[in-house]
Amino acid sequence: MSVENLSVASSTAARKGVVIIGAGLAGWHVIDAIRAKDTEIPITLITADSGDRYHKPMLTMAISQNKRASDLVRASGSGAANTAEVTLLANTQVTDIDPVSQTVQVRSTAQSDDALTTIGYEKMVLAMGAHPIFPKSLPQDLVWHVNHIERFSQLQEKLAAGSQHVAIVGAGMVGTEIAEDLLKAGHKVTLIDLNDAPLSQMLPAKATARIAKAIESQGIQFLGGYQVSAVARINCNSNDSEDGEKLQVDYAPLSTDADNTDIQPLEPLIVDHVIASTGLTVDEQLPAAAGVEFDRRTGIVVDAATLRTNAANIYAIGDCMSINGVACRYVAPLRAQAATIADDILGHEHSGYDHKPPMIRLKNKAISVMVTGVPQAAGNWQVKTESDDELIMDLIDDNEAVSATVTIKAPAVPKA
């Protein structure tokens, strides 16, 4: 944090105002929404990263399009902060929240000392996102994730060296999308999941089997029903990898029949990179400090109509929060959520946020997958339409109402 920024921060604190923690899509949407209605209220944006504005969904499309991280940045953090007239404390970690004195403690990650600065708030918005889960078998110093542009940028640089073998662990939406992106960029891709098919936590087996078939026919090696037990660095002394280093990925069938002596030990995979795409979790530390109600599985609990937390003057938005016990980690609802928070903070009358689950679209080109409602694999899924080219299934709830629909279509064959 620069001295200049510090002095601006303390004067903002003296005037009080809005403090936003996190400069992802959620944090910036709140700034846009407030500034659309009030150009005067002081806003301080505190973020552990640079604060650069970028569209995170692009991270699973960028490598095959030969786009670097800098191509994805729509505005630098400092430039966007100047335009919106907000005080940006970039590369600054919020370490504590005191809801009684209405202050936060921050530490600059760009400086070597551990000096803490205290900043006051009148209203605060938690927009701190969720971070990747790394199971013990996937050591963080050996595996990549694509949940942030900085880490993505480092991975992209490594992959630019030429065709490589990448193992992706976790075939949810992000894992399945990045698998196709890397394949299209010319890399060999192995996608590994505990389940027999991609998206198996969200959709029924009849639907996911089509997705598995489509990505395999593209050339992605899909290992369904396997668990990665270890990733370790090995030295191959070959010239086709930096310093001759590769990664050994040990994996095994998820459940083996102990009496079956025919099961052969599996040859480990030898790859250049491993990407973990094994889910997200919200850090409990700041919500706990602020006395904010928190669910370990779904994140910060908010009131559905106002997006207020149970702590006075504290709101939450984006990946870090959940509504009615459901986390909704998608971009589409952010604009309406931010508008509600802006109105509530500014004391404007508003009709309340009305949460509508967004339409979910897999970005893969091998197959078209579109989901509406709140899907979950388990439940009473019924086939509406079934042909070679199309599958439509509804999830029927206990009241016989449709709570989700999945539509899967074969991609259109390009005209010769």
Ligand X SMILES: Cc1cc2nc3c(=O)[nH]c(=O)nc-3n(C[C@H](O)[C@H](O)[C@H](O)COP(=O)(O)OP(=O)(O)OC[C@H]3O[C@@H](n4cnc5c(N)ncnc54)[C@H](O)[C@@H]3O)c2cc1C
Contacts to ligand X by CB under 6 A: 21-27, 46-49, 56-57, 59-60, 93-94, 127-129, 146-147, 174, 286, 318-319, 329-332, 363
> Could you give the CA distance from residue 177 to residue 151 in angstroms, rounded to a whole number?
17
Structural contact between residues 177 and 60, judged by C-beta atoms closer than 8 angstroms = yes
Q: How far is the CB of 330 from ligand X (least distance, A)?
A: 3
Q: How far is the CB of 281 from ligand X (least distance, A)?
A: 12
> Could you give the CA distance from residue 356 to residue 328 in angstroms, rounded to a whole number?
10
* Total residues belonging to the chain: 416
**CB proximity list for 169: less than 8 A, separation 6 or greater:** 138, 143, 175, 192, 193, 228, 274, 275, 276, 277, 278
Q: How far is the CB of 382 from ligand X (least distance, A)?
A: 26
Q: How far is the CB of 220 from ligand X (least distance, A)?
A: 17
> Could you give the CA distance from residue 55 to residue 283 in angstroms, rounded to a whole number?
22
CB-wise, 23 or 223, nearer to ligand X? 23
Which tokens sit at 384?
């509406």
> Could you give the CA distance from residue 136 to residue 140 in angstroms, rounded to a whole number?
9
CB-wise, 233 or 297, nearer to ligand X? 297
CB-wise, 246 or 282, nearer to ligand X? 282
Q: How far is the CB of 352 from ligand X (least distance, A)?
A: 21
CB-wise, 56 or 67, nearer to ligand X? 56
CB-wise, 251 or 366, nearer to ligand X? 366
Q: Which amino acid is at 203?
A: L
Which tokens sit at 118?
């205290």
Residue reference for tokens 């940045």: 73
CB-wise, 47 or 278, nearer to ligand X? 47
Task: Please name which of 336, 354, 346, 351 lies closest in space to residue 35, comparing C-alpha atoms.
Answer: 346
Q: How far is the CB of 238 from ligand X (least distance, A)?
A: 30
Q: How far is the CB of 229 from ligand X (least distance, A)?
A: 25
CB-wise, 108 or 241, nearer to ligand X? 108
CB-wise, 104 or 231, nearer to ligand X? 104
Per the DSSP assignment, residues forming a β-bridge with 144 are 275
Structural contact between residues 24 and 319, judged by C-beta atoms closer than 8 angstroms = yes
Inter-helix orientation angle 25-37/334-346, to 10°: 50
> Could you give the CA distance from residue 404 to residue 385 in angstroms, rounded to a whole number?
15
Containing H/E element for 87?
Answer: strand 87-89
Cα R_g (the chain), whole angstroms: 23
Q: Report how far apart, in Å, the C-alpha atoms of 273 and of each of 25, 113, 259 are.
A: 28, 34, 35
Per-residue burial over 366-392, b = 16 or more CB atoms within 10 Å of its CB, e = otherwise: bbbbebbbebebeeebeeeeeeeeebb
> Could you give the CA distance from residue 381 to residue 214 in angstroms, rounded to a whole number?
21
Q: How far is the CB of 90 from ligand X (least distance, A)?
A: 9
Residue reference for tokens 């969720």: 130
Q: How far is the CB of 243 from ligand X (least distance, A)?
A: 28
Q: How far is the CB of 408 from ligand X (least distance, A)?
A: 17
CB-wise, 241 or 375, nearer to ligand X? 375
CB-wise, 204 or 318, nearer to ligand X? 318
CB-wise, 128 or 393, nearer to ligand X? 128
Q: How far is the CB of 5 from ligand X (least distance, A)?
A: 14
